[in-house]
A and B are shown apart, each in its own frame.
Chain A
Amino acid sequence: MLDVFGRRPYLVLLVLALLLLAVPFLPLDDYILHILTLFLIFAVFATGWNLTLGILGLKTLGHHAFFAIGAYASALVSHYFGVSPWLTVWIGAIAASIAGIVIGFPILRIRSMPHVAIVTLAFAEIVRLVFSNLKEITRGELGFWGIPPFNPIEIGGTTIRFGLGNSFGSFAVAAVMFVAIHLLLLVLLRSRAGLTFLAIRDAEAAAESLGVRLAAWKLFAFGISAAVVGLSGAVYAHYVLILTPSSVAGPEMLISLLAMIIVGGVGRFFGPLYGALLLTVTSELLRDFGDYRMLLYGALIIVFVFAAPAGIAGLKPSLRRKPHQAASEPAEAV
């Protein structure tokens, strides 16, 4: 559990929450707030995916499908039926969760991880093609626009608006989602459920022999994971206000988020968060390098994979072990 959560995960989350709370009081421009908003959305996406990929140990490669399902479900209901996005984001999360459970059933029968990866990848491609071909409803690759931003809210006589160009409000929504989701998942994973997931990951047969109902727990994990990812997709939709199947369910989204999880630390609770922060911010910082930007971005990922195979979140424990290792070495006989 220490490897997964670190020593004081609640304290880490509290510090992060306080840092986010301080952001509105800092002299940051809309560009920085936009980057932070994207980081928060993708951090929630990556954390949700890490639940099945890293903590449960199922090598799923199709979670960007749930991101797309959450995004499109919320966008379509709010656009065509005039429902407030404050409600439709939950519809998006539920739709993604149901899809997660549906795809979870066939995966239960698959023992081989490469096959799990292929099946989930194929599922994601099916989702992309469905959204692409339902042109009458989604407008396909022409782009689904007209997505309403979150309805403005009044706080103490101040109207807070959301959507592109309303950086503070959008950041606030993303930050609240980020803290709330991470807190809920932390509570869940620090409970019996988390231990069960880790037991399934580390020794499935042993877990089953101890009475763990593998099918039920795997489906539960899929449902929760997909719901979290779907929620992040829904928030994304009501922020960016335009969706295309390839931008939300295409291979580029898969690769970007997978890189965040791997660089941050697969199977470590805060790993995806660190990976999302590093890669989202770096992608923008590298703009100063012009045409070499994407080349350097790729090189950075490669360097991190070699320098920190356990991810950024895995760096701290190895540094702390050195003094104990030195003390435990037997003294040489003189």
Chain B
Amino acid sequence: MSRLSFPALLSAAILGTALSSLPVSAAEREVTIGAVGPLTGPAANTGKDHRQGLELAVKDWNEGRGDYVTQDPPKIKFVMEDTSGKPEVAISAAQRLITREQIKLLIGDTLHSHVTLALMELAPQYNLPILSAEPVSSAIADKVSSDPERYQLYWKGNWNSSGYGTAVHDFYQWAFANKTLDPGNKKIAFVVEDTDYGLANSQKIAELFKADGWTVAATETVPPSTTDFYPQLSKLREADPDVVVSVFTVANSGIAFVRQLKEQALETSHLAIYYPTKPEFLQQAADVAEGTYWAALTFSSELNEAHKAFSDRVEAEYGNPGTYSTAHAYCTMEIALRALDAAGSTDPKAIADQIKNTDYDCVVGRFKFGEDHAVQSGPDFIPVPVAQVQGGKNQIIWPENVATAKPQ
């Protein structure tokens, strides 16, 4: 180090400190948004996608490419902390963001419903608007409905598990009606991960099928990241269901399940939920996944130009293509940013009111909140289309008005 460098460095440090303490003009107001999600643990892959989506939205916003509401949008500082998928760690993470980063809005949890159920309590305690991202469990909406006054600052950035349930049920009713599939003995079985996501979806689907006179032949739950399904498939062989629904958030589990299902040659209609949204599913299981139905193909860079453009942007920024999780997180952040912009202040009630009034078309669909504070699903909102793997590619086969191919 030269003789002159230390004083120079010291001067620069002093100057920098002085400059940083100058008051910021109103035109340069900075608002900090925090997020919590599983950056470690079994769901870390999805947490990484969420972080990319959230960061990209903030980057676009700060660099003049945002979808602004006013002429004077705030600058955003974004900080994300890890929850490891555990409620008490999520609380630690959120409290750190609240007390250390002085966040004005929290996006969390980005994935887990049971973590969101814990985080919701912080909204009234800290007078903080909270917007969850991917969690779907209807238990969250039930909790809001149980005390709307208490949870007025909490909003659920995804549809309820009834969305998947309705889509799967309605698809099969349509397939049976047009003779694409045969209901057989009306028996349905589930192989799902033992998480709030797997259980919530299987419960809702089972309710709807049972209302049509179906019986649930088996509900097999497995720990996340399971890759050995031979015991479960042996039971299914005995149960002989006409429809099998599988739900996994970890791609490896889904790949293993599809592979072993084909190996066991069970004669059943299989519908997968969530894991085919991961690019690695088709990369590793295209040979055995042919003909598999799955939900929901809400994001497809192969079939949708806008989705492809988004995926390419993510790839240019991070070196990996965008996924549904990336896109959904991007849209969740867009909602938060526009609410902050429209509110014109960091008043929690004002921000929450703007979130409530959201009616916004984003990459994955139209975001509009219902009375239960959850985003609505369906053809007019965020669609829940059913796809099928055909010729190694995904094709939307239902509903008919958005289908890109006929079911096989």
Contact = CB atoms under 8 A, between A and B. Distances in A.
B169 interface: no
Given A34-B91, A34-B92, A141-B195, A287 B81 contact: yes
A142 interface: yes
Nearest to A241: B121
A164 B92 contact: no
A142 B92 contact: no
Interface string B160-200: 00000000000000000000000000000000001110111
Contacts of B200: 142
Interface of A: 29-32, 34-35, 38, 132, 135, 139-143, 145-146, 163-166, 236, 240-242, 244, 246-247, 252, 283-284, 287, 291, 293-294
Contacts of A32: 99
Given A143-B113, A242-B114, 4 more contacts: A143-B137, A164-B125, A240-B88, A293-B82
Instruction: Give the interface centre of A38, A240, A242, A246 by most chain B CB atoms within 10 Å.
Output: A242
Given A31-B98, A35-B92, A142-B113, A247 B196 contact: no
B114 A240 contact: no
Contacts of A293: 40, 82
B96 interface: yes
Contacts of B39: 291
A140 B202 CA distance: 13
A255 to B, nearest CB: 12
Given A30-B98, A38-B92, A142 B137 contact: yes
A145 B88 contact: no
12 contacts: A30-B98, A31-B100, A34-B91, A132-B194, A164-B91, A164-B125, A165-B126, A236-B88, A240-B91, A240-B118, A287-B82, A293-B40
A242 B40 CA distance: 21
A287 B121 contact: no
Contact of B199 (A142, A166, A236): A142
Contacts of B139: 139, 142-143, 145
Contacts of B124: 165
A242 B86 contact: no
B87 interface: yes
Contacts of B84: 294
B209 to A, nearest CB: 18
Interface string B81-119: 110101111011101101110000000000001100110
A205 B121 CA distance: 54
Interface residues of B, number: 38
Interface of B: 39-40, 81-82, 84, 86-89, 91-93, 95-96, 98-100, 113-114, 117-118, 121-122, 124-126, 137, 139, 143, 146, 194-196, 198-200, 221, 223
B87 A242 contact: yes
Contacts of B100: 29, 31
Given A135-B199, A246-B194, A34 B95 contact: yes
Contacts of A166: 125
B279 to A, nearest CB: 21
A164 to B, nearest CB: 5
A181 B125 CA distance: 30
Given A31-B95, A241-B118, A165 B199 contact: no
A145 B143 contact: yes
B214 to A, nearest CB: 19
Contacts of B195: 141
A38 B86 CA distance: 13
Contacts of B99: 29-32
B117 A242 contact: yes
A228 to B, nearest CB: 19
Contacts of A165: 121-122, 124-126
B5 to A, nearest CB: 27
Nearest to A286: B82
B143 to A, nearest CB: 6
Instruction: Give the interface centre of A31, A246, A284, A293 by most chain B CB atoms within 10 Å.
Output: A31
B149 to A, nearest CB: 16
